[in-house]
């Protein structure tokens, strides 16, 4: 694999996004809107930190579903898949787009978490070491799984609705784990107590990335 090729594909996607801003604006508004709805729904009720840990990841999951399919779907819609097939090896396309989704999701989640911590007053983090580690590992796993599924649905007819339908069962082990770990972070558990969660997240990340890497060519090529 030519690393330069993957990096160029990644930077092409970034530059394209910065130039057109199609996705970024919509995603930011999505997070703001979803958070607002939740704040209205909570109102003055006190909601336990356990539930709020789950709600945070619901917002993250749905914003992932809103944003991470674009990198593949836009190529299909514009007809540039053929072009990429002519200039790059499948693995280079995969790595470039995975990197793009990773950067996008890290940016998005940072934004989401920041807003969440500021505006959802009943939710506070006692153990930042657990929280940050969970966010990092969770974002990596989420981006990786979402990327291969995005590649799959980009070739299908009902892309938008199919994306969460295919992603949810695959992501459920990750979601359950990160929600659990976030609860621990809110409770102020020691870092070592969350070691099991981190192990699951790390191995999930390795497995899903390895499987995606091996199977991508079958999705990408005709």
Shortest distance (Å) from residue 37 CB to another protein? 24
Q: Is 42 in the site for another protein (CB under 8 A)?
A: no
Backbone angles phi, psi at 221, to 5 degrees: -90, 150
| Residue choice 40, 45, 118, 222 for contact with another protein (CB under 8 A) | 222
What the block records as the tokens of 155 is 């070739």
Residue corresponding to tokens 């082990």:
173
Which of residues 36 and 77 has its CB atom nearest to another protein in the complex? 77
Evaluated on CA atoms 187, 200, 171, 152, the torsion sign reads positive
Shortest distance (Å) from residue 193 CB to another protein? 9
Q: Is 200 in the site for another protein (CB under 8 A)?
A: yes
Q: Is 156 in the site for another protein (CB under 8 A)?
A: yes
Choose the stretch contacting another protein; rule: CB under 8 A; options: 33-41, 108-116, 123-131, 169-177. 169-177
Q: Is 140 in the site for another protein (CB under 8 A)?
A: no
- The burial of 16, by beta-carbon neighbours within 10 Å (0-12 exposed, 13-18 middle, 19 or more buried), is given as middle
Q: Is 169 in the site for another protein (CB under 8 A)?
A: yes
Q: For residue 133, how many other CB atoms are within 10 A of its CB?
A: 18
Which of residues 18 and 118 has its CB atom nearest to another protein in the complex? 18
Q: Is 19 in the site for another protein (CB under 8 A)?
A: yes
3-state helix, strand, coil split of the chain in percent (to 5) is 85, 0, 15
Q: Is 32 in the site for another protein (CB under 8 A)?
A: no
DSSP 5-25: HHHHHHHHHHHHHHHH-HHHH
């Amino acid at each position: 694999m030519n690393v330069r090729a993957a990096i160029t594909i990644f930077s092409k996607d970034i530059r394209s996004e910065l130039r057109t801003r199609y996705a970024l604006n919509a995603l930011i508004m999505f997070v703001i809107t979803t958070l607002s709805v939740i704040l209205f729904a909570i109102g003055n009720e006190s909601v336990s930190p356990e539930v709020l840990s789950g709600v945070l990841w619901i917002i993250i999951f749905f914003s992932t579903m809103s944003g991470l399919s674009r990198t593949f779907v836009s190529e299909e819609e514009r007809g540039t898949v053929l072009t990429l097939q002519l200039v790059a090896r499948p693995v280079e396309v995969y790595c470039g787009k995975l990197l793009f989704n990773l950067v996008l999701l890290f940016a998005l989640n940072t934004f989401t978490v920041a807003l969440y911590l500021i505006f959802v007053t009943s939710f506070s983090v006692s153990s930042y070491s657990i929280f940050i580690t969970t966010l990092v590992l969770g974002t990596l796993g989420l981006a990786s799984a979402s990327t291969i599924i995005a590649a799959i649905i980009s070739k299908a007819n009902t892309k938008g609705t199919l994306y969460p339908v295919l992603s949810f069962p695959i992501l459920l082990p990750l979601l359950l784990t990160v929600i659990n770990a976030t609860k621990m972070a809110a409770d102020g558990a020691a870092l070592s107590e969350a070691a099991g969660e981190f192990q699951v997240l790390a191995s999930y990340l390795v497995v899903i990335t390895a499987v995606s890497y091996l199977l991508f060519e079958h999705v990408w090529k005709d």
